[in-house]
Structures are given as C-alpha cells and as structure tokens.
Structure 1
Amino acid sequence: MDDSKVRVCYALSYFHPLESGAERQALAQGVELVKRGHSVQVVTHAVDGLARDEDVQGIQVHRWVRSSRVGPLFAVSFVAGVIRALRRLRGSYDLIHTHQGLWEAIATGLGRQTFGGVPTLVQPASSGYYGEAEELSRTKGFPLLRRLILRNHAFAAISADIEDQWLRLGVPPERMFRMASGVDAVHYRPGKSEIESALLPRPRVMFTGRLHPQKNLMRLLDAWPAVAKLTSANLILVGQGPEHDRLKARVAELGIADRVQFAGAVNDPADILRAADLFVLPSVAEGMSNSLLEAMATALPCVASGIGGNVDLIGEGVGRLVIGDDPAMWSDALIEILGDRDHASRMGATARHRVETEFALPIVVDRYLTLYRHLLAERSTSRSDRPW
C-alpha cells in the first residue's frame, strides 16, 4: 500500500468558519488528511475580522484573495488573486484541488503553467441551475472561460449528474473521475438526543440546511397541510437563509404554524438529527448533499428530490425519491413512510449501512488519496505522454 505523504492545496471562494456544502466537505476531508500526516493548505478569500493566516485543525488557511464586489471586476480580481496566491506558495504543495468549479477552475486553468507543473484537480460542487456548469454557460465570455477551465489536468465528479454535465462541456472521459462526498459516521450516528424538549412532539420530519430557493422549501410547505391532516407529524426546519421570512409568511397563509417549527441555525446538526424520525430534502439542485449524508448516517429514512447527487445516495431501501414538483407527490411520500414505522426503521438501517460501507469519511478520503497519487504518478511521466 502506498503510504507516501501528499501535500495538497485547496482553492475555493470561502472556507471555515464561512461554510456551505463545498466548504464543509473541504474542511472534513482536509482534517482527515492532516490526521494521516498529509499536508493541507487552503487559498481563499480574505475576510474582515478573520486572520490572514490561520491554522484550522492542522489545515494552513491563507485568506489572501481580495476581490472587487462590482460586477465583472469580481471575476477578474478573484482569478488574479488566486493565481498570485498559488504562485506565492509554489513549491509547498504537490497538487491543487479546487472544491468548486467556476472561477477557481478558471484561475487554475489560466495559471497552471506558473504553479510548477503540479496537477490541478477541479471538483464542481453542484449540478442543475445552481451548479457551475450551467452558471458557466450563462456567463459572458463562455467560450473562452470554458477553454480555460478545460486546461486543468483532471476533474472529479461527486455525482453522475455532474459527470454528465461536464462531459457535455467537453471534459475528455479519461480526465474525468467519479468521486463522492464523505461524512463522519462516528459523529453522525443514531442515539438519544439532548434537545428533545426544545422541539415540537414526535413524529418529526426534519430538514437541515440553508433556507434558500435552491432547497425548494416552499414546495415542501405546500405539501404539509395534507401531511398534517392525515398524520400527527411536525415539520422542523433547521437553518437560516434568505428565504426565512417568505417561508414564515407562507406557513401563516397555509394555517400550519402550530405544525411547523423554525429551529434556527445550529453549529453541529448531529444532535438535532437524532431527534428526527424522517429527513426531507426537496432541493432543485445538489452536488452530493452533506445534509443528506448526515441524515443517512443518523439512520433516518429519507425523502429527497430525484435530482443531482440525491439519485446517487437514495438507492433501493434507503428512502424515497420524488420526481417532479407536485406538492401531492411530496405529501404522499411523506405520509406513506410516516404510516409504516417498521418500514421506516428498515430504511434508516439500510441508509446507515450504506454510509458505513461507501460514504464514511475515511473511505472517501482513501479514494481521493488514490486519485492524488495517480495524478502525481502521471506527472512524473514524459510530458509528451500526457493528455493535456
């Protein structure tokens, strides 16, 4: 077994403590790599009030990138800032891994010859309308930007949908690698919750994540009156975001305020997930959802939209995929699972087993290390033999 140490530099717009899905996954994987003796650095945005350089659980974070907030100047300044930072760090890393696939990937594609010839691995965070491939196609200068991104050495797709989109954009199949996100299955586990008394009574259907249009929570609320009528379940929405006020107003309009709880943001969703009976994720776009993985690790049956990485996670016996946007389809799926506790319990156990065997963080990081070493081995071959 190859036990050589790897020095990897992540590039992404923001990093801990400013987090969404990609940032959380980069932190989790980076910490696991550091625990194994590898070196992890991060190049990211400068943030007022946060240190320019910081050790975060062994990861060396460099908040050096400053960008304009004005239209096209953002892109130019961000790309230039990433290139400058990576050039400054040249020699301290063996490989660059972007945990997002738009401006970070443009920066590594444009500047790759100045980074010492190290491999550059691009990992788009999502698919669908909010994903990088579709955002790229809507961006002025798309043909040139696409060519710059395709200059990167390799691409990691965390879902079949992402893989398909980027192959259609022109990534050669031999430079595309199917990967996955991981979850700490020791931390996220079934068990007793310490916050039962702070929540509406069981059974509880729970969502965790950003209250953002991407999560399509308005459709879930439209489905809830039927669920409330035929079951005793309560809906718990965990998180904050720009949709908060609109969602609260919709709850009032529907007359379901006594059956829906806005629990706010939590730093660590592990304990509140243990207080749930069923997890729901109605998003219109996902890469491979951290929230869905966390719910599966907690042995919750899951109802999720049939899009993006949800399709890769919710296999036979794990839960239910809902295809389409009809509220009745959502309410039917929720009512059916809530009405059969034994079946729901079996689904949760199957979800937990799937995480333990395929998506536990150590397993996923093993896969990334294998890919890193493959790319580094290719680097050592003759330049004339490379596909880039």
Structure 2
Amino acid sequence: MQIALVTETAKIAGAEMNLIMIATRLRKRGHTVFAVLPRKGPLADRVHEANVSICTVPLPGFVSTSLLIGGRYKVPNLFGFIISIVAGCVWFFRLYRCFQRRRPDVVHTMSMWSHAIAGLAGQLAGASVVWHFQDVVGPYAGFGLYRWLVVQWSRRVPDCILCVSDVVADQFQGDPTAASKVQILENTVNTDLFRPCSTRSLGNGIAHPAKLTIGTAARLIPWKGQEVALRSARILKERNIPFHWFFAGDEALGSRSYRSFLEELVERWDLEENVTFLGWVPDMPRFYNQVDVLVHTPVEPEPMALALLEAMASGLPLVVSRGGGADHLIEKGGGILVPPRDPEAVANVLLELVRSPEDRLERGTLARNLTEQMSGLDGYVDQLVRIYRSLQTKKDLIS
C-alpha cells in the first residue's frame, strides 16, 4: 500500500510530529510512504532523518485568513482568504500532477489547507482520502463562513475523517453525511523518547535549582492563551514566589504581532528575569526534563495537544484550562484542570505545587503511568492501517 502524507507547512508543531511518527512507523512496516511538503525547512529535515521519501510540491505563499488587532484580537481577513484560495488553486494543480505521477492508494492530509486542497487533488487522482482533523474551527470564525465551508467540503471530499478527540468530532455532528465519516483516533506518545528525567526529585527545577521552573509548549497564537499564562506569572511575582517560566513555540501564520504583544507585557510587568521565550525547540524531551510543571491555558477548546501527552510521558504534573479534548486523560493522569481565562486560578494551583513537591512528584508519576497504559505507537498505527485497508476494500468493491 502506498500512502501520501500531506501538509502545507514547513515548520513543526503537534500535527507535524504526528506526520513524522506515522510516516516512520508505516515505512518500518513495509508500506510505501512519502511526505508531500511545500518547501525545505525543519519538517523536511526531520522527515529526511527518518528515511522517509519527500515529494516537494511548491506552495505559493498563503495569507492568514485572520488578522490580529492590538496583537491579540482576531478578526476575519477575507482579503487574505481570497488570496489563499488563488494560491491554493495553483497548489491544487501541482498536487494533482504529483498524485497522478506517484499513484498513492491513500492521501492522508494533516492540516487545514491540505484537507481542502490536497484532499480534492487526491480524490480526483483516484486515491482514498483521509482527513486527519486536529483543529476546532470556531462556530463564529469568519462570521460563521469558515466552519460552514469545512462541513460542506467534508461531505464531498474525504472518505474518512479522523478526529483526535470528541471535541474535534463535535463540529461535524450537525451534518449526517459528514458525521458518518468520523472516527475518533486520539493522539498517542512515544514513551521511549519522552521519559522522566532520572535526576528529577522532590527538589526544585533543574534549569533553576532555587526556583519553580514552569514550562508552556504551544505555538504563539492568541487562542493558545500565553497571555493568560503571563498574567499568572505576574501574580506569582507579586506574591514573591521564585520561579522561571519557559515558553517553547514559534509564531503561527499571521500571529507575528502576538509575540510582540507578549514581549510588551513581559516588559510592562517587569518579568524579564522570570520569563523566557525560546521559540521553536528542536529537542523537546530535554525541554520537558528541565521544567517542574507544564501549564497550558488555551482560551478556546484545545483539540488534543500532543505536548500534553509528551509532558505526561516525561513525568510532569499538568495545569490545564478545562474544556479540551484531553480533559479525561489529564484528570486520570493527576493533572489539574482550571477554569479558562482565569490566571488567578492558575497561580493558586502553582502556589500549591510550590508548597508540596511531594504532590508534584506524585502527580507526575500518575501521568507517566497513564501514558504507559495507552495503546502506544504500534496500536495507533494498527488502527490507521485497518482504516486504510477498509477504505481500499470499499473502493475495490465499488469499482
């Protein structure tokens, strides 16, 4: 079986880590797999290191379909949407030629624009199309137009919609045709790669031994809630709690002004000695092993952040905003859920964790134990292969 894994970005975040993992495991099982990428970059480097074939299909520059006002308030950018559609049409014809030449049995898309454009190109080229949906399109995004377009496209293009959580699947439930294609496939984590640090003990942070060392791992984009985290940091500083907070993550498309906004907050609240923005971090296992707790404070429902599972496998306690697709795992794994947009609640939980390192260690142990009980990478890929084969069987019967 030949599988094409497609994304429109050259950077690396959770969805792209999934792509690398899936491609690597499928190749080891003897399947022919290739990644379709728009250009060279960190993602292409990682895919190459995994000995996975790459088909580069150049993508004209997309423009963000939203604008940030004041560095954090998102409004629709319909002009950018139109430009991106034109760029997408060019990419569509290039992808179609690629699929005609390579003849994949399955086109597995990993990101929003690849769902729409590569999915259609794959369908017309005769492949089965799998959308790996890892986003929640807000009901009011683009005045409601964006979700409507996603649902309408989902009726016609994919043969299967893999959703990483119930929260993601919910956006398709209002349409019977789309809902009939949905299957839940929760993210998993490589527990051999992400492991607790052997030197982590009841003491404080490794990077700053005299302080609580806090980590946040997410792309810098307003809905990920780094502003909430900084407000919590401000409260900790006002209470004279010694800490250092590391933010791992690069800017997303259209969010460059958000980083500037966050840096202004750091300066305004005199947090320069307490907060560090690391940008993209290539060695995430090392990052998790240098912090005492991972905090994730999205202001919108989090689909199923891979970073949360990586941190749990690394033996970290979690403090996370309630309402996301991983809530059940976080609670089972000793994590603490807090109300969204509530920096005071986050600060209070962190204060309790400062006062009780034993509790911190116990919660981290629960988190690690839970990830070891999950199906693991082999079970995850087993499910994928079964889905691919069922789609191929259905296509063969129809033909």
1:68 Cα deviation after fit: 5.3
**2:134 aligns to what?**
125
> What is the SS of the residue equivalent to 1:150?
helix
Equivalent-residue separation in structure 1 for 2:273 and 2:118 (angstroms): 51
**1:386 aligns to what?**
none
- Are 1:204 and 1:277, in contact at CA under 8 Å, matched by a contact in 2? yes
Equivalent-residue separation in structure 1 for 2:269 and 2:326 (angstroms): 28
> What is the SS of the residue equivalent to 2:260?
helix
Q: Which of these residues, 265, 280, 283, is aligned with residue 268 of structure 1?
A: 283
| TM-score, L = length of structure 1 | 0.83
Change (3 A) 1:134 1:272: same
1:181 Cα deviation after fit: 1.9
Whether 2:377 is the aligned partner of 1:366: answer: no
- Are 1:281 and 1:305, in contact at CA under 8 Å, matched by a contact in 2? yes
Q: Which of these residues, 106, 110, 115, is aligned with residue 99 of structure 1?
A: 110
Equivalent-residue separation in structure 1 for 2:390 and 2:62 (angstroms): 38
Give me the identity figure in percent: 23
**2:152 aligns to what?**
147
Structure 2 matches for 1:1-388, cutoff 5 A?
6-15=1-10, 18-46=11-39, 55=48, 57-67=50-60, 69=62, 71=80, 72-90=82-100, 92-100=103-111, 102-108=112-118, 110-111=120-121, 113-116=123-126, 118-127=127-136, 129=138, 135=141, 138-139=144-145, 146-151=151-156, 152-192=158-198, 199=208, 201-228=210-237, 229=239, 231-241=241-251, 242=256, 243-285=258-300, 286-358=302-374, 360-382=376-398
1:127 Cα deviation after fit: 1.4
Q: Which runs of 5+ in 1 are unaligned?
A: 1-5, 384-388
Mean CA deviation greater in 37-46 or 235-244: 235-244
Mean CA deviation greater in 36-45 or 182-191: 36-45
| TM-score, L = length of structure 2 | 0.81
**1:3 aligns to what?**
none
> What is the SS of the residue equivalent to 1:315?
helix
Equivalent-residue separation in structure 2 for 1:139 and 1:55 (angstroms): 38
Q: How many residues align?
A: 368
The residue identity in structure 2 corresponding to 1:372 is: Y
Map Cα deviations across residues 335-381 of structure 1 (whole Å, 9 max, x no partner): 22333222222221121122222263333222222222222222232
The residue identity in structure 1 corresponding to 2:8 is: S
Change (3 A) 1:237 1:200: farther
- Are 1:126 and 1:162, in contact at CA under 8 Å, matched by a contact in 2? yes
Map Cα deviations across residues 218-259 of structure 1 (whole Å, 9 max, x no partner): 111112233342643332223343333322321232233333
**2:68 aligns to what?**
none
Change (3 A) 1:379 1:69: closer
Equivalent-residue separation in structure 1 for 2:38 and 2:30 (angstroms): 26
1:282 Cα deviation after fit: 0.9
Equivalent-residue separation in structure 2 for 1:250 and 1:49 (angstroms): 29
